[in-house]
Amino acid sequence: MEQSHPIRSAVDKVVGAVTGDGGPAEIPGVPNSAPPSLEEPTEPREPLPPKPDQSGPDTFSPTGQPTGAPQAKVAQDGAYLTTAQGLRLRDTDHSLKAGPRGPVLLQDHHLREKVMHFDHERIPERVVHARGAGAHGVFRGYGAASNITKAAFLGKDVETPVFVRFSTVIGSRGSADTVRDTRGFATKFYTSEGVFDLVGNNMPVFFIQDAIKFPDVIHAAKWHPDREIPQAQTAHDTFWDFAGLHTEATFHTLWNMSDRGIPRSYRMMEGFGVHTFRLVDAEGATTLVKFHWKPKLGVHSLVWEEAQLLGGVDPDFHRRDLADAIEAGAHPQWELGIQVFPDTPEQTFEGIDLLDSTKIVPEELAPVQRIGLLTLNANPANFFAETEQVAFHVGHLVPGIDVTDDPLLAGRLFSYLDTQITRLAGPNFAQIPINRPHAPVNDMLRDGFHQTAVHRGVAPYRPNSLDGGCPFTAGAAEGAYVEVPLEVSGRKVREAPASYADHFSQARLFWLSMSPVEREHIIAAYTFELGKCYEQAVKERYLGVLANIDSVLCRQVAEGLGLPAPAASQPLADSPPSPALSQIGQTWPADGRIIGIVAGDGNGDVAALGAVRQAVLDGGLVPLIIAPTGGKLGGTLPVQRTFVTARSVEFDALLVAGAPAPGKDAYGARDAKAAGGADAPVDPRVLLLIAEVYRHGKPLGGWGTASQAFSEAGVPAQAPGVLLGEDGTSVLRETLELLGTHRVWDRFPAAASLT
Ligand code: HEM
């Protein structure tokens, strides 16, 4: 990522000073680029440089011209506090008063400006996808799509800066990351031909086939309007009321109830453009495609109990994971892929309507062809300026990529600009630094709130002669965007095509493609969500929907709800499973995963612990040492978590270097996690860590006297993925191998009825 400003080398030096090794901090989460002094600094100095993992928007003018200015030149400047007008201030802690006890004087212009600005710091959150996290990166085209699209950024080895924002859909801006929900995956490509936005989700289908129903599905999924609860989740009556009556949502809802609804990390999600798009080559020939993002780290999920605990223990879990991974140098990567279909008048493939966004085309029928690589390599320097103000729009297209007649896409083409006028207070949001194109802009759009361009000339209209006729329209040869000249005709009706009436066959295909343990999770998710509904009618009606997916699924959920399982109301369509839909069965790299390491009794062998920690770092993972109190073990090894602050859900695997005796604070009045444990042989907080890691199916390694701790925690020594060894390094090696499959799936086999 561009970090051209000269202070960068200074950052490296400063951060080197933090860690003492000349490189970036080992453990991510450093608040700033230099360590604070104990005393309040009083010697005036320039602002600190940003952290080395951070970048801002590239410095382009509001009209898309590179300014060459260092990024720091759009940040605060100078050593002294000033007003917004640049006036230096002597005091900002006291209002101007008539005497020390007041009254405050109306003439205090500094008070007025400071509080006025603060009063207006908030802007409306997004009406959907309000909660999100962003990152900068680069996209490199493989050239593999150049035979079917003229889009320049997809050319071989063309590198394009990008900004990506991941999000949940339903919750408010401050809601928890790990709720069960769809995740947004929106990518802004700053191409040489203008901005292209791929505004997708981590699920390939949508709840509705026509955008006119978007307000309905969102009103149903969001909180109840009377009490404004529950926050950020679908486990309530209005959602299931709607979903049971509106069965075109069945397939998307099943994706939500599957493990895809609770991703382990944004880095471990697939992304989908959902709609079918039309690619156009230089000769005007067209091809239909569906876009996919394939994560290099594989697709992995939380288990439901982890997701729930994280909602309280670390509501920022996904945000933190993304930022920490980038800071630690574990830059997440995805390959962009396309499924390719001939552009026939029917716009179907193997009988699947390509204009129906509630349907997938199984990858076994149309393989995903890789056409480029996305790498996220820098964190935003300012969340509000970048992640909050970024404005995506499915209508931001470049030559070579056109839309189709999918009625869901048509509504989206209207919606995004519309909502951004309110959210970003006026029509000039394309001029906000994160939204500026990296291509020359001459749009004849003028004035409006927050106009930051200073346009010249007198003739922002066409045709004109007073500005010499400028701007001129371009032909396709000059890079103009030319819509594909398709024939359109039809009766004016408010109807859906007959092909849109099938709401169940692909949901069944998905169910049949799941491994037994994934089916268990789906059953549990429906049982949980419907179990949180109040109205029997809502539950009973939805069991009728489940019966049309699969009788085992319906029966198992009905049992959990204590209700009879209805029969299917239509024949079940059996199609061959699509193994690509399952998340289980392959191995993946474990870059940037978090390994908790519990120090042994009396801190154990610190040198050996240090060696394990270093091996974790060398493997590209993040080690967090856990000990009874903070500080440095043996005076050298920094403790990142204590028995008070550690909770298992933060770790992908746990290593235990012994059986630590209860810490001095291991009693219930101080820490409920330790209740009744002051006299226990092992600190109860460590036993809780072990028990949770075990039941969440995570690798659990131990050496020294750790076997005693495992047995106290009720963990069978012979259980799959429980690794007891002589020394930490060998246990770590086996642990890393297990992490390749994400979890130890055979620790808790599925019920025989599902296998
Ligand atoms: C395939 C279906 C859809 C997908 C994949 C999708 C995806 C997304 C994503 C990823 C975002 C967040 C963008 C960001 O990070 O800033 C978003 C926001 C939004 N979506 Fe959609 N969406 C879909 C359907 C719709 C429909 C049908 C509508 C309306 C008719 C709609 C309206 C909105 C609005 C209003 C926002 C907020 C935009 C903003 O404030 O900047 N979406 N959508």
Reported as type and span, the H/E element at residue 139 is: strand 132-141
pTM for the model: 0.95
Residue among 408, 412, 422 to mutate when testing ligand 1 (max atoms within 8 A of CB): 412
- The mean pLDDT of 417-442, rounded to a whole number, is 98
Cα–Cα distance for residue pair 96/109, rounded to 1 Å: 9
For ligand 1, atom 12: residue with the closest CA: 129
Pocket test for ligand 1, best of 165, 416, 429 (most atoms within 8 A of CB): 416
* Cα–ligand 1 centroid distance for 526 (angstroms): 25
Tell me which residue has its CA closest to atom 19 in ligand 1: 128
Ligand 1 centroid vs 243 CA: distance in angstroms?
A: 19
How far from 7 is each of 13, 50, 680, CA to CA, in Å? 10, 9, 54
Residue 7: pLDDT over 80: no
Q: Is the pLDDT of residue 52 over 80?
A: yes
DSSP state of 476: G
Q: Which residues contact 620 (CB under 8 A, 6 or more apart)?
A: 329, 330, 590, 591, 592
Least confident stretch, 201-210, 415-424, 480-489, 597-606:
597-606
Question: Half-sphere exposure of residue 636, counting CA atoms within 13 Å on the CB side?
Answer: 10
Ligand 1 atom with the shortest distance to the CA of 273: 5
The answer, yes or no, to whether residue 753 has pLDDT greater than 90, is: no
By alpha-carbon position, which residue is closest to atom 17 of ligand 1? 129
Residue 19 has pLDDT above 70, yes or no: no
Q: Which residues contact 588 (CB under 8 A, 6 or more apart)?
A: 296, 297, 298, 300, 740, 741, 742
For the segment 542-554, what is each residue's pLDDT rounded down to a tens digit? 999 999 999 999 9
> What lines the ligand 1 site, CB under 6 Å?
126-129, 132, 165, 167, 184, 186, 199-201, 206, 211, 214, 274, 357, 390-392, 408, 411-412, 415-416, 419-420, 423
Where does the pLDDT of residue 677 fall: very low under 50, low under 70, confident under 90, or very high at 90 and above?
confident
Q: Which of 273, 354, 340, 286 is nearest to 150 (CA)?
A: 286
Centre a 10 Å sphere on the Cβ of residue 87 and count the other Cβ atoms it contains: 12
Position 25 scores a pLDDT of 59
Ligand 1, residue 129: give the atom nearest the CA: 12
203 C-alpha vs ligand 1 centroid, how far in Å?
Answer: 13
Main-chain dihedrals φ then ψ at residue 171, nearest 5 degrees: -75, 165
Q: In the structure, how many helices (H) and strands (E) does the chain have?
A: 17, 21
What single-letter DSSP state applies at residue 71? G
Q: Two tokens at 493?
A: 């009706």
Answer yes or no: is pLDDT of 22 > 80.
no
Q: Which amino acid residue places its CA nearest to atom 31 of ligand 1? A: 412
Taken in order 631, 635, 638, 639, is the CA torsion positive or negative? negative
CA distance 89 to 27: 38
State the average pLDDT over residues 600-610. Answer: 88
Query: Which residue minimizes the CA distance to atom 26 of ligand 1?
Result: 412
Give the residue from 475, 412, 368 showing the smallest Cα distance to 129. Answer: 412
Task: Collapse the DSSP code of 93 into the 3-class scheme (helix H, G, I; strand E, B; otherwise coil) and give the result.
Answer: coil
Return all residues near 167 (Cβ < 8 A) that are at least 6 apart: 126, 129, 130, 131, 132, 133, 183, 184, 186
Pick from 557, 531, 562: nearest CA to 544? 557
Beta strands in 444-564 (DSSP E): none
Q: Do residues 178 and 317 touch, judged by C-beta distance below 8 A?
A: yes
32: annotated active-site residue: no
- Report the separation in Å between the CA atom of 419 and the middle of ligand 1, taken as the mean of its atom positions: 10
| Across 703-728, average pLDDT | 95
> Given pLDDT bands bounded at 50, 70 and 90, which one contains residue 12?
very low
pLDDT band at 3 (very low <50, low <70, confident <90, very high): very low
List the catalytic residue out of 201, 379, 435, 548: 201
Q: In whole angstroms, what is the distance from residue 623 CA to residue 616 CA?
A: 6
Neighbours of 643 (CB within 10 A): 24
Annotated active-site residue in 129, 236, 396, 696: 129
Name beta bridge partners: 642: 627
pLDDT above 70 coverage of the chain, percent: 97
Give, in order, the Cα–Cα distances in Å from 415 to each of 129, 419, 421, 434. Answer: 14, 6, 10, 20
**Which atom from ligand 1 is nearest to the alpha carbon of 212?**
30
- Predicted confidence at residue 430, as pLDDT, reads 98
In three-state secondary structure terms, 402 is strand
For residue 23, pLDDT beyond 70: no
Residue 20 has pLDDT above 60, yes or no: no
- In the reported structure, the alpha carbon of residue 285 is separated from the centroid of ligand 1 by a whole-number distance in angstroms of 30
Tell me which of 162, 183, 199, 435 to substitute to probe ligand 1's pocket, judged by most ligand atoms within 8 Å of the beta carbon: 199
Mean pLDDT over the full length of the chain: 94
Annotated active-site residue 201? The verdict is yes
**How far is Cα 503 from Cα 575, in angstroms, rounded to an integer?**
14
Q: What are 144's two structure tokens?
A: 């593999």
Quick one: tokens of 611? Answer: 């060696």
CA distances for 104 relative to 5, 82, 96, 101, angstroms: 44, 21, 6, 9
Residues 393-421, mean pLDDT to the nearest whole number: 97
Rounded to 5 degrees, φ, ψ at 602 are 60, 25
In angstroms, the CA 518 to CA 255 distance is 11
d(CA 621, CA 740): 13
